[in-house]
């Protein structure tokens, strides 16, 4: 967990005004401690991701918002999948086998 100044310092390409705008857009959701923003690891990693997208793919704010929304949806699904996989993993082998068999093959109707 780091503060705003340390975050700015960590990424030389990161501009304070720009970061403030990302926070206002709710692309970055810092925590708050004693009236100051604090950034957890996931926030720092996300800042780096946004920096990469902006600078390496040269996308504007509008496209960036769309990309982040799609990315968030993908990761949300992946988290749900992992939860389900975790729940399946602790089932007895015969139940896991039954579920495996009940899975439609890709392209089959549910």
Residues interacting with other proteins, by CB under 8 A?
A: 6, 9-13, 29, 40-42, 44-46, 48-49, 51-52, 55, 69, 71-73, 75-76, 78-80, 82-84, 87, 95, 97-99, 101-102, 110
Q: Which residue's CB is nearer to other proteins, number 36 or number 40?
A: 40
- Per-residue burial over 45-67, b if 16 or more Cβ lie within 10 Å, else e, is ebbeebbebbeeeeeeeeebeee
Q: How many helices (H) and strands (E) does the chain have?
A: 5, 3
CB of 44 to other proteins, least distance (A): 6
How many residues comprise the chain?
110
- DSSP SS3 for 62: helix
Nearest in space to 27 (alpha carbons), one of 15, 42, 13, 12: 42
Q: Which residue's CB is nearer to other proteins, number 31 or number 61?
A: 31
Q: Which residue's CB is nearer to other proteins, number 13 or number 63?
A: 13
Question: What token pair was written down for 100?
Answer: 């495996």
Q: Which residue's CB is nearer to other proteins, number 62 or number 101?
A: 101
CB of 88 to other proteins, least distance (A): 11
């Amino acid at each position: 967990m780091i503060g705003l100044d340390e975050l700015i310092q960590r990424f030389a390409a990161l501009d304070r005004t720009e970061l403030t705008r990302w926070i206002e857009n709710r692309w970055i959701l810092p925590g708050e401690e004693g009236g100051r923003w604090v950034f957890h690891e996931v926030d720092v990693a996300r800042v780096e991701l946004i920096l990469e997208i902006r600078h390496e793919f040269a996308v504007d704010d509008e496209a960036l918002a769309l990309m982040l929304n799609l990315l968030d949806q993908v990761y949300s699904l992946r988290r749900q999948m992992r939860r389900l996989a975790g729940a399946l993993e602790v089932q007895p082998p015969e139940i896991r086998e039954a579920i495996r068999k009940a899975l439609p093959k890709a392209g089959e109707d549910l």
